[in-house]
Structure 1
Amino acid sequence: MAVESALRTVDVARESGYSVQQVRDLERLGVVPAAVRSANGYRAYAPVHVRALRAYRGLAGAMGPVAARQLMAGLWTRTVEEAAASVGAVHVSLARERDEVLRAQQALWAIESEPTDHGTVEGADTMTITELAAALGVRASTLRFWEREGLVAPERVTSQRARRYGPAAIGAARIVAALRGSGYGIPAVRDIIGSLGAMREHGGPERVRRILEERLDRIAARSVALLRAGTDLAAVLDSFSAAKAGPRRAVR
């Protein structure tokens, strides 16, 4: 790297939006490759360091700072294909979260349209614990745990103690699965599910609907942050690819 193209720590800080100390800390954590040291001990950075820091900022907004640090640090020890796959996995994860919330919304709408009297539900309209667990992609033991926590309850238990879940219980289970998958703790989920019991009298579904809409808004913001990081990530991977094709440490 030519001397005239070298960037000082303060230059990288200004271009990336981080403080000088943050740049040093993120280098120490492996978010960017180690800077070249000049004869007098000063750090000499390159444009790829700025792009890496900008990419990290977007990733931190999309997946959280800890996961973003882990992903960026891993880029420097993986092949280009592996690095690209790890970034693609973030897009997949956000899409999966969005789908879960959308399914929870659909379940809420279904529950709101259900009649208050479920005593006439026929066996064909119910699911066993095994069927419901498979539909939700969880273990039967997870449904039993939710039952113990008061989140989901079977609508009847046969003489052989086999559980049967009707439409309302199935819808509630879908909401629990979506909220748990979105990071809500058991107490928060219990509070939300409790509001469903007051659905028709106290406006319970409005609160649940608002929570789900807010979750979709946050997922959208994280997706936008990931898209903004895309250009810088592509530049980093291009530099990484060029380094693999040329001198081993050319990425610096």
Structure 2
Amino acid sequence: MRPIDLAREHGLSAQAIRNYDEAGILPPAERTETGYRRYTPLHAQALRTFLALRGGHGHQPAMEIMRATNSGEIDFAYRLIDAAHVALLAERDTRTKVAAALGTLSTATPPPLRGRPLTVGELARRLGMHPATLRTWETQGILHPERDRATGYREYGPDSVRDAEIARQLRRGGYLLPQVAEFLDSLREAGGADALTTFLDSWQNRLTARSRNLLAGAAQLDVYLTMLDLD
């Protein structure tokens, strides 16, 4: 087969096939007397495998898996695949924790802050806790107060007050400080509790899609490894 023959199956260019060959994604190809590459069904399966792996792992990791496979470093290829599954599991656990934290939030929240920002003492009194706790939350990345330019004192605006109130609820629910910080980071990224629900749904869909893509890549790699064993 010629490069264009491999390319047509996936809507690629012949140059893309040559690039993949030079990158080590395809196994070494024989050449004709005139110097043209000659591809076989093994190369066609290697290309299918790479494209399937790319859907779940990304371009660079998929390329590294194929290079390791083609050079006989199968154990290293397995390690790369295992690492992707470990990372996906960790992300899935994070999403679960964030969703659980959202479910613990009370619907009876204090009225939003109006007027000037609060000092650390004023916010502590509002929440019924010690100012030192708020400073600890700041060092843990839970709160991000502004600083008065003249005095350097902490100033807690509406967003910081909201974050502190959510943090108090989560702490009462038994969440650890790193978990609280993780939840608030997700909340800020999403743009609010309502948006976070949509964000969590989209996040779950991405996780499911990646899981399916990893399975699809593994299936194609299994076929490729079988062909290599028979070659």
Asked if 1:119 is matched to 2:107, the reply is: no
Cα distance in 2 between the residues matched to 1:209 and 1:62: 25
**Which residue is 1:73 aligned to?**
67
Q: Which amino acid aligns with 2:183?
A: I
Q: Which amino acid aligns with 1:53?
A: L
Deviations 1:25-60 (A, max 9, x none): 111222222321122211111222222211222222
**Which residue is 1:213 aligned to?**
201
Q: Shift of residue 226 of structure 1?
A: 1.8
Q: Which amino acid aligns with 1:95?
A: L
Task: Using structure 2 for the length normalisation, give the TM-score.
Answer: 0.67
Q: 1:87-236 counterparts in 2 under 5 A?
A: 87-111=81-105, 113=106, 115-116=108-109, 119=127, 143-144=140-141, 147-148=143-144, 166-168=168-170, 170=177, 172-176=180-184, 179=186, 190-192=188-190, 195-196=191-192, 205-236=193-224
Of 62, 68, 76 in structure 2, the residue corresponding to residue 82 of structure 1 is 76
Deviations 1:70-97 (A, max 9, x none): 3322333353233223223222322222
Asked if 1:22 is matched to 2:10, the reply is: no
Cα distance in 2 between the residues matched to 1:152 and 1:119: 12
**8 Å CA contact retained: 1:107, 1:174:** no
Q: Which amino acid aligns with 1:209?
A: T
Gaps of 5+ in 2: 111-125, 147-158, 172-176
Of 39, 48, 54 in structure 2, the residue corresponding to residue 45 of structure 1 is 39
**8 Å CA contact retained: 2:68, 2:76:** no
Q: Which amino acid aligns with 2:181?
A: A
**8 Å CA contact retained: 2:56, 2:217:** no
- CA-based RMSD: 3.6
Task: Using structure 1 for the length normalisation, give the TM-score.
Answer: 0.62
Cα distance in 2 between the residues matched to 1:81 and 1:233: 14
Stretch deviating more after TM superposition (147-156 or 99-108): 147-156
Cα distance in 2 between the residues matched to 1:44 and 1:104: 52
Q: Shift of residue 14 of structure 1?
A: 2.7
CA distance 1:219–1:37, shift in 2 (3 Å): same
Gaps of 5+ in 1: 1-6, 133-139, 157-164, 180-188, 197-204, 244-249
Cα distance in 1 between the residues matched to 2:16 and 2:183: 40
* Identical residues among aligned pairs (%): 26
**8 Å CA contact retained: 2:24, 2:67:** yes
Number of residues paired by the alignment? 194
**8 Å CA contact retained: 1:61, 1:225:** yes
CA distance 1:121–1:105, shift in 2 (3 Å): farther
Q: Shift of residue 102 of structure 1?
A: 1.7
